[in-house]
Structures are given as structure tokens and as C-alpha cells.
Amino acid sequence: MENKIVNTGSAKLTIGEDSYDLPIYSGSMGAPAVDVRALHKLSGHFTFDPGYTSTCSTESQITFIDGGKGQLLHRGYSIEDLAENCDFMEVAYLMMNGELPNKEQFAEFDEKITSHTMLHEQVERFFHGFRRDAHPMAMICGTTGALSAFYHDETDIAENEARDLAMMRLIAKMPTICARAYKYSIGQPHVYPDNSLNYAENFLKMCFGVPAETYEVNPVIAKTMNKIFILHADHEQNASTSTVRLAGSSGANPYACIAAGIACLWGPSHGGANEACLNMLQEIGSVDRIPEFIARAKDKQDPFRLMGFGHRVYKNFDPRSRVMQKASHELLDELGISNPILDVAKELERIALEDEYFIAKKLYPNVDFYSGIVLSALGFPTSMFTVLFALARTVGWISQWNEMLEDPSQRIGRPRQLYTGAPARSLVPMDKR
């Protein structure tokens, strides 16, 4: 990756009686950043930023977010345009290569992906080592990491050809792994990939098809699944992406890096948010109980929180949720589903878009709110929600990981700390304590 940040001035930092000039860098969009890399060398001080919420950890050319405007761009294209007009494999190509493919490039890329959808039969045996009630995220985390034992020739990340092959394998095999975890969790035989189908259709068949019957993919469901994948493909330097980059900065193999990202995504504050949202809807149970929970959400003394509303980055409407809102309504109309939980979700959505409390605090329904509804309507249990997130996000993780390796300024991650433990002291022998 060619570094494109531009030095646009300097900032003067004064500590006591000493002042230091620190460079200011700007990108093509977004806020500029003060370069503090030399701060400790110059002054003996570190910056303190728990959660790195005000720290740029890297330069990237893949995804841009403007939380104030509610804007999400992948390589300059809006998420709305991509979700409405592209196949998920087009978006994968875009993220990995920087431009959307033409017909020939798309056909070649798609063929490369579909040629690697099968799992090694020895990988299949791993699933039988898990308890039947194991969480699907535990299964895909372990199985993804184990791929490095099968493709150890591709763990030499200095070789471009091996690196490219590893990226293709991960994108191709993740739907197969995720579908296998689902089938194992419900006690059904696994369904092999069907390379005559596109990415979303193939995944749906592997999840909901059975060997004894012919499975016909509903085009509306496949279209919705495709949008879900695109909407979750990447989201800048979030916790799991930063984890993948941090693991990769040490030179770890790509399968281990993606497994690390999956482990991070599993957290309820990250990828588990849509599962937590549906659990909340189930707790509310019926439309007549909504006022009770709205009142609790507004009560500062009550620990209850409405899940699926607001976002740490977006201070406006999450652009992904607009797409998902439309897709959820289309899907529910197509399937003709009548479900009290979905009725609760629709009423909560209406209230959030009209209630002054929600509007003033900008607590708009986010993508987790709608994706939980959609995935539930498709028939997935809540335990699979984060699995689907991981499947889609693998494209972003791989793109970010590869970009990091090609960045000449990248170094192994090594955050600092403010130590507040015991000062240096002498050890007292046990018989004198």
C-alpha cells in the first residue's frame, strides 16, 4: 500500500515549561490527526486514550465513516449504493483490490472463490469433537484457527501468491464452516457446497437444505442475505478488525488472525449486539408491554437499556440501518410472517422515530436492531446471528490484514499503559512475613 497521508502543519504541545511541535497529517476525508509517535522520545510522556477512541492506529484506504453525517463508504462508494446494486462478491473484490470489477474480472474472481468452498474431510471430523450444544461461534473460531494446520504452506505471508491463496480460501470456506456449525448444532447432516449457486444462495442451501429433498432458493431471501453480507462486510477500525490487525502485526498466519477476529467479535458489545437485541424483544414479549420498557429506558436509575438503538460512532441514522429497514419490511411482506416479537419490533421502531426523547438523544434504530429481526424471520436461532456477522466480516478482515502487510509504515502493535500498581519494594522471606 502506498502511503498517502499528507503533512498539513504542526501542533504545539506544552508540558510544563517545555513545548513540542508535532506534525499534523490529513487524509482524503475526515478529521486530521496529530502524530504523537515521537512524543515519548521528545518529552518522556505517553498519551492516555483508553479504548483508543481518539487514536488513529493506522492509515487505511478501505473504509471511511463520518458518524456525524451518518456516512459509510467502501473505497469511496456509499454503502447504500453497494447494497442496492452489487453482489457480495463484487464488494469483496472492491475491498481487496480497490476498484469494482468488470465482467471478466468478476467472473475470474468468483471462479477462484467457488473453487475453494469445500472443506477438507479431516476438518469435518473436528465438528464431532464439539459437544452437541456448543455455541456455533466457539465452533467456527476453533475450526478457522485449525485451518492453519491444513494449509501451512500458505502461512508464509511474505509470499504474495501464498497470501492471495489464503485470502481466497478464507472467504470461500467461511460459509461452509458456518453452515456446518449450524447443522451440527441442530443435529442435521451437513450439506456440501453447490458451486452453481452464488455466494448467498449457496450459504442458504447449506443451512436450510437437507440431503433427502430438493432445496429451491427463494430469490427474495437470497437478495436479503446478500444485503446482510454487504452491510456487515467492513466497518473501519472496530474492535475485531483492530484485533486482526494487531495479531497480524506480529506476523501471525492469516487463519490465526481471522480466528482472533472471530473471538473478539463474539463479545456482546460488538457482534453479539444483534443477539442481545432480539433477546430484549423477547423479554418485552408483546406490544402492550412496550410503554413499561420505554419508561424504564428513560429512567436513569434503572439499569435496563434498549438494545439496537444508537451507535458509538454514528450520531445520526446508521446508513446501514436504512437499507436493512427496507429489506426487513420487504422480507416480512414476502414471507407473510405473523410473530408477536416482530410486532414488538415494528412498534418500537415507530416510537423511536417519533418520540422526542429518542430523537433528541439520536437513538435511532441501528443495523443490529433490523438484522436481528431479519435473521429471526429467516429461521436462524439467535446463536447464529454473530456467526453470520463473522462470515460477512471475513471479507473486511482479510482486506484490512492484507493492507496492513503492504503498509511500509506498519510496526508490531505495542500499546503503552499507566501503571498504578505497587511501587518497587524489597521481598521479605516467607518465614519473616
Amino acid residing at 150:
F
Amino acid residing at 190:
H
| Contact in structure between 101 and 109 (CB atoms under 8 Å) | yes
C-alpha distance from residue 161 to each of 104, 155, 167, 203, 400 (Å): 21, 11, 10, 27, 17
Length of the chain counted residue by residue: 433
Residue 362: exposure state from Cβ atoms within 10 A (0-12, 13-18, ≥19): middle
Task: Bin 220: left if φ > 0, else alpha if -120 < ψ < 50, else beta.
Answer: alpha
- Which backbone phi and psi does 432 adopt, to 5 degrees? -115, 5
Cα dihedral 231, 237, 239, 244 in deg (nearest 10): 100
Residues 6+ apart with CB under 8 A from 377: 328, 331, 332, 335, 337, 339, 342
368 is catalytic: yes
What is the separation of C-alpha 336 from the centre of its chain, rounded to a whole number of angstroms? 30
Catalytic residue among 110, 318, 368, 407: 368
State how far the Cα of 288 lies from the Cα of 341, in Å rounded to an integer. 12
State how far the Cα of 424 lies from the Cα of 418, in Å rounded to an integer. 15
Residues 6+ apart with CB under 8 A from 158: none
Catalytic residue among 232, 234, 311, 407: 311
Which residues are known to be catalytic? Answer: 311, 368
